[in-house]
Amino acid sequence: MEILVDKTPDLSKAFAILEKYSSDPAQKRRIEEKLKSDRDYAYDLAGSFERGEQTGKQKGKLEGKLEGKLEGKLEGRLEGKLEGKLEGKLEDAREMLAKGIDLKTVLEITKLAEKNLRDHGIL
């Protein structure tokens, strides 16, 4: 062990400090208290980090849910408006055809395809 300590300056220095303080009980107690304090601080810091990480995950989940709900509502509203417009155009086409307006004119006015009218039973 001494050979290794002699060949490694940092290790040699550490052993010299250890020998110096281990022979003085008061100094040894202060070092142990400092080490305990540092360890406690490290554990507190790790706990704070973990709590912060959990809080961040929870916040992210809540934000994701909220964003999803908002997107769903907006998508639903848009889809509803589009369906409403289509229903209105289909009803207009039905009425125009019932009044004898030719198909070509009805398609031009409503901007619908003939397929739309067939799919909805108007033709």
Domains of the chain by residue range: 2-119
Does residue 117 carry a pLDDT above 60?
yes
Alpha carbons 21 and 37: distance in angstroms, whole number:
18
More confident residue, 1 or 48: 48
Which range (15-24, 38-47, 60-69, 104-113) has the least confidence? 15-24
Of the listed ranges 13-22, 44-53, 97-106, the least confidently predicted one is 13-22
pTM of the model as a whole: 0.46
Residue 92: closest CA among 105, 78, 80: 105
Beta carbons within 10 angstroms of residue 101's beta carbon: 13
Of the two residues 36 and 96, the one the predictor is more confident about is 96
Q: How far apart are CA 48 and CA 5, in angstroms?
A: 39
117 closest CA partner among 88, 95, 97, 90: 90
Tokens of 74: 């907006």
What the block records as the tokens of 120 is 């909805």
> In the numeric block, which tokens belong to residue 52?
């912060």
Q: What is the pLDDT of residues 2-35, one digit of tens each?
A: 555 455 667 677 777 777 777 778 877 887 888 8
